[in-house]
Chain A
């Protein structure tokens, strides 16, 4: 990487550079660091006992458990089908391919609230599929199934958009060689394709996990907000704040932030790995 500062010719004066740098750091500090410091400070001031007390409450434990379940199911589904969709998009030529490609982007354009609304229209009172599931005694809306479905919807693009460019880049040569040498389709996939896409896939999974943990708009609508039953960690924070139990809301919010920041560090590590790998090839 070249260092323009050393070439002698600069696009900005030294003062201009300092100004830009200061503006950039101030912007990040104002919008990202100050809010983090503020909540951290507030929780620390309230004391460790309030933290342990909140985090051992049955409602809070249940909320974290529910978030974990929703996240795990979402990650498994979006990874499995995400790889299939990415593979089909890159390796197959067929009518409707560009349509399929456009459909993948739809969740980026849809407000989570709208996704929740869609689930209500489909499964809610008077919904399209409500009679079908009601007759079989299966509760979809205001229960776990709808919460998982909306979260999957929102997370669909992440894995696909990470894996597609890598699949395009690696091309067919290695896969062809493997097949010509007599390896089966599955062996080729697990020994050739998967190792090539693994960092992109891991990055996609990390993004999906972060989004699934943080989802609020859609589950706000489809969960029915039943305390201790369909309440995820984010919904707990929302309700606690609305009920003026701010101390509890802050502790759970900080706990979620801590989980997410750990996840971010993993993402950074993965991105770094991926870049190293790309520059090597």
Chain B
């Protein structure tokens, strides 16, 4: 391989002839463009929110946490997020298992339908849930007749979050299950392991990190979701007002510092989770 064709790992060697100088400049220009693009469009806004959130030092930050309703909103968001993530971990794994391992008519359709939440706007999901559980629908009336109020309660929040995060675990687990050789499961079964033992000892260790990554992604998405929640939750402070909707209402009252403090808190949790997720996924790739 000629040195001219080498990538710029050998940057030092490229410098010399005018031809190579141009190559180096081109690399630097592209890198500069990448840094400016992400710097201006991502880092600058994040810096703005964090700076505003901390305001005149940490005191404003803790003060904002004492804004009436702030802690209630954050707690509701964290609790619903944990519930939805747990449900999604179980149901997402089940769905991935069924789609990969079973052969039944409509399997491809099911696999496509699972992706619907990625395509349809979250606000539209909210509207659809309003229609489905509203007083004009058969299902809404059925729930009402047994005394279960769905809309404008935490249940509606959990339902809409489950809907919009449905693909996350499935799409993480599916490719891993596809690659999994069922010879090991057969061996386990032949050696007399029960079905549950086989799943627990053979299948689960293989898909564990994928389930984990999908679950964290679900939770992180729940912390920020507004479109599907804002219409169905009713937004009653201390009861059904989630943190993102709370940030929105603070912002529309021009209480930017308090909004930024709550936003910074949520972002800190979420970003750590996203970093963990990408580390988990990377480790899985190294293992494979």
Indicate whether B251 reaches chain A with its CB closer than 8 angstroms. yes
How far in angstroms is the closest Cβ of chain A from B44? 7
Given A84-B33, A107-B42: A117 touches B251 (CB 8 Å cut-off): yes
**A156 contact set on B, CB distance < 8 A:** 38, 41-42
Q: Which of A2, A93, A216, A241 has the most CB of B within 10 A?
A: A216
**A109 contact set on B, CB distance < 8 A:** 220, 224, 267, 270-271, 273-274
Q: Are the CB atoms of B251 and A113 closer together than 8 Å?
A: yes
Q: Binding site of A, secondary structure by majority: helix, strand, loop or mixed?
A: helix
Count contacts between A and B, CB distance < 8 Å.
Answer: 298
* Complex: A237 Cα to B110 Cα, angstroms: 29
Indicate whether A38 reaches chain B with its CB closer than 8 angstroms. yes
- Contact code string B133-144 (vs A, CB < 8 Å = 1, else 0): 000110100000
Please report the total number of B residues contacting A with Cβ < 8 Å: 105
Give the contacts of B225-248 with A (CB-CB under 8 A). Answer: 225-227, 230-231, 243-245, 247-248
* Complex: A268 Cα to B162 Cα, angstroms: 22
Give the contacts of B241-288 with A (CB-CB under 8 A). Answer: 243-245, 247-248, 251-252, 254, 256, 259-260, 263, 266-267, 270-271, 273-275, 278
Given A11-B195, A111-B226, A241-B231: A42 touches B274 (CB 8 Å cut-off): no
**A3 contact set on B, CB distance < 8 A:** 103
Selected contact of A9 from candidates B2, B190, B223, CB within 8 Å: B190
* Complex: A176 Cα to B104 Cα, angstroms: 46
**A263 contact set on B, CB distance < 8 A:** 119
* CB-based nearest B residue for A264: B119
Given A85-B38, A110-B224, A117-B251: A264 touches B112 (CB 8 Å cut-off): yes
**A210 contact set on B, CB distance < 8 A:** 118-119
Q: Which of A179, A210, A257 has the most CB of B within 10 A?
A: A257
How far in angstroms is the closest Cβ of chain A from B170? 10
How far in angstroms is the closest Cβ of chain B from A87? 7
* Complex: A263 Cα to B124 Cα, angstroms: 15
* Complex: A38 Cα to B102 Cα, angstroms: 29
Binds A, one of B5-13, B61-69, B207-215: B5-13
How far in angstroms is the closest Cβ of chain A from B6? 8
- Contact code string A104-115 (vs B, CB < 8 Å = 1, else 0): 111111111111
Give the contacts of A218-249 with B (CB-CB under 8 A). Answer: 220-221, 234, 237-238, 241, 249
Binds B, one of A19-27, A57-65, A132-140, A192-200: A19-27
**A117 contact set on B, CB distance < 8 A:** 49, 247, 251, 256, 259-260, 263
Q: Are the CB atoms of A111 and B223 closer together than 8 Å?
A: yes
Q: Are the CB atoms of A21 and B98 closer together than 8 Å?
A: yes
* CB-based nearest B residue for A221: B251
Q: In the A-B complex, list the 6 residue pairs whose CB atoms are closest, starting with the nearest.
A: A214-B121, A111-B224, A118-B45, A35-B128, A264-B119, A38-B132
Can you list 19 residue pairs at the A/B interface with Cβ under 8 Å? A2-B182, A3-B103, A11-B203, A16-B195, A35-B128, A35-B129, A85-B37, A93-B7, A93-B8, A100-B34, A108-B217, A108-B220, A109-B224, A112-B226, A112-B244, A118-B46, A185-B26, A217-B224, A253-B124
